Amino acid sequence: MKKIYLDYNATTPVHPEVLDAMMPYFKDFYGNPSSVHSFGQETRKAVEDAREKIANLLGAENPSEIVFTSCGTESNNFAIKGIAFDNKDKNCHIITSAIEHHAVLKPCEYLSKKFGVDVTYLPVDKCGIVNPDDVKKSITEKTVLISIMYANNEVGTLQPLEEIAKIAKEKNIIFHTDAVQVVGKIPIDVKKLGVDLLSISGHKLYAPKGIGVLYIKKGTKLHPLLHGGSHEKNRRAGTENVPYIVGLAKACEIALKNMKDENDRILKLRQKLEKGILEKIEYVQINGHIMKRLSNTSNISFNFIEGEGILMSLDLDGFAASTGSACTSGTLEPSHVLSAMGVPPEKTQGSVRFSLGHYTTEKDIDKLLEILPKIVERLRSMSPLWEDKKRSEIRD
Amino acid sequence: MQYSSKVMEHFNNPRNVGEIADADGVGNVGNPICGDIMRLYIKVKDGIIVDAKFKTFGCGAAIATSSMVTEMVKGKSVDEALKISNRAVAEALGGLPPVKMHCSVLAEEALRAAIDDYHKKNPE
């Protein structure tokens, strides 16, 4: 059975060209970039070339604004704790949203519990969008940071970043965005967006797991998370992960080259997927903004059934998708994103996220559209909620 | 998270899905907010459970435990059926991941609720 992967928002496979670019830096060019000798000079050059390529993808003014980290979570922790610790004497206040990734929510909760930092979690509308007016109204003289994600990982909704950045700038407040799901999918220009800090994760754009970046606009002051050597201009101690840094740069280069065509192709596939589902299956709804959304993400609620059953059935047919529902492994909490969007609990439970990517083909979508209606029908035939629904229809 | 092959088998081919129109007892437990709803029907003849069917809204483990509990009660007396514990259901399925043990609790509760309903309808 051919396995079909539709979970690219969770992670992506390493692109073959990325792997090729990385390989020499494990065995042949292994010098410590901080070393003075020629071994070190070779890898130092590789790291600085990579920094320049990544700065280029982001439209950064200067390559020194790119700081390498170990992952997206570290980048988010660095941004949030770094700013809070830099303002620790001020009894500070942070504004974020209710739909952020846990890599933003948890550091905020930590700062709040351990250091008494005041945190505002802004609500979102039914499409998952933060209202810039709410940002404006929440600002106090103690606000030191606004952190709003660029695109949500579960539903793909894009936020009005430029408007929020403008508000932050007017009040002289640092603005951070978790852009982990966006980088490599749509063009990013940090200057146009007006952000001060921006988080990237390599494994979301066909680079390996274990490499991330925090873009730090020149002049932005933040405390380091890791203390040690003077790497990354004293902003992040630890010997640079040279092969992974080279891999990330290659991935950025590939993304930049193919972005428009790839985005158009994937958008067409998603449109086909959603049109097909809406035609073939009754009582479904698409979560997130219909237009202002990542082209690859489709979050769908199948009413009267539960998401995990759909995922398990899909898996038996070779498909990999995911759910933010109660049965996401390890947690029984329903999706905080869908809940914040006002999706009622029984529909939250029945949501499935399909996220498309580089290797998704039209055939894959055709096959999914062939088996998904059968899966939904089978699970509904077992559901007491479906039984009640059918009975009430007969009565009507 | 890893399910046992027995759980997967019962999820994929659940036994006794459906309703019993003239059931002697019906148990309804759970709610959509906590994520699982089970509806269990029993048919009783001379104190013996002769048939059991279920409908479940819930995860794979919830469907598998429903299927297993209906298998376990068939042929048992009402009193014997009351002794079936959630642990016994989970064990019969080759174990459940810790975060899914509540599904077996729900199956036990659904069974008790169906038997309670039977007793209410058939006072001695």
Tell whether the model's pLDDT for residue A6 goes beyond 60: yes
Tell whether the model's pLDDT for residue A333 goes beyond 80: no
> What crossing angle do the helices spanning B60-73 and B101-121 adopt, rounded to 10°?
40
- Find the mean pLDDT for residues A51-70: 96
The three-state secondary structure class of B108 is helix
Beta partners for residue A285, in sequence order: A301
List chain A residues with CB under 8 Å of B54: 382
Q: How far apart are CA A152 and CA A293, in angstroms?
A: 9
H or E element that contains A189: none
pLDDT of res. B31: 78
Give the global pTM. Answer: 0.93
Q: Which chain B residue has the Cα nearest residue A312?
A: B60
Tell whether the model's pLDDT for residue A104 goes beyond 70: yes
Task: Say which of B38, B103, B106, B114 is annotated catalytic.
Answer: B103
Residues 6+ apart with CB under 8 A from A390: none
A306 touches chain B (CB under 8 A): yes
Distance from CA of B23 to the nearest CA of A (A): 15
Residue A352 pLDDT grade (very low, low, confident, very high; cuts 50, 70, 90): very high
H or E element that contains A94: strand A93-97
A/B interface, count of CB pairs below 8 Å: 72
Contact A160, A129 (CB under 8 A): yes
Phi, psi of A89 (to 5 degrees): -85, -5
Q: Mind listing the pLDDT tens digit for each residue in A286-332?
A: 999 999 999 999 999 999 999 999 999 999 999 999 986 444 445 56
Distance from CA of B50 to the nearest CA of A (A): 21
Task: Say which of B19, B34, B87, B121 is annotated catalytic.
Answer: B34
Q: Residue B59 catalytic?
A: no
Q: How far apart are CA B73 and CA B51, in angstroms?
A: 8
Angle at A368 between CA A362 and CA A371, to 5 degrees: 145
pLDDT of res. A91: 86
Across the interface, of A308, A329, A384, the residue whose CB is closest to B56 is A384
List chain A residues with CB under 8 Å of B38: 384
- With a CB-CB cutoff of 8 Å, which residues 131-150 of chain A face chain B? none
The mean of the pLDDT values for chain A is 95
The mean of the pLDDT values for chain B is 94
Q: How far apart are CA A278 and CA A298, in angstroms?
A: 12
- DSSP secondary structure of A169-208: HHTT-EEEEE-TTTTTTS---HHHHT-SEEEEEGGGTTSP
Q: Which chain B residue has the Cα nearest residue A349?
A: B35
Which of B59, B65, B66, B70 is the best mutation test for A, with the most CBs of A within 10 A?
A: B59
Amino acid at A278: L
- Find the mean pLDDT for residues A197-224: 97
Tell whether the model's pLDDT for residue B111 goes beyond 50: yes
A305 touches chain B (CB under 8 A): yes
Fold for the domain defined by B5-118: Sufe protein. Chain: A (3.90.1010)
ipTM above 0.90, yes or no: yes
List chain A residues with CB under 8 Å of B55: 382-384, 386-387
Contact A54, A68 (CB under 8 A): no
Interface contact flag, B57 A306, Cβ < 8 Å: yes
Residue-range domain boundaries for chain A? 4-9+258-388, 16-255
Q: Mind listing the pLDDT tens digit for each residue in B59-72?
A: 999 999 999 999 99
A334 touches chain B (CB under 8 A): yes
Interface contact flag, A385 B8, Cβ < 8 Å: no
Q: How far apart are CA A98 and CA A122, in angstroms?
A: 6
- Find the mean pLDDT for residues A178-206: 96
pLDDT of res. A328: 46
The domain covering A4-9+258-388 belongs, at the CATH homologous superfamily level, to Aspartate Aminotransferase, domain 1 (3.90.1150.10)
Contact B107, B16 (CB under 8 A): no
A371 touches chain B (CB under 8 A): no
Phi, psi of A202 (to 5 degrees): -65, -40
Contact B55, B67 (CB under 8 A): no
Fold for the domain defined by A16-255: Aspartate Aminotransferase; domain 2 (3.40.640)
- With a CB-CB cutoff of 8 Å, which residues 4-33 of chain B face chain A? 8, 11-12, 14, 17, 19, 28, 32-33
| Between A332 and B27, residue with greater pLDDT | B27
pLDDT of res. A326: 45
Residues 6+ apart with CB under 8 A from A333: A326
Amino acid at A145: L
| Between A112 and A327, residue with greater pLDDT | A112
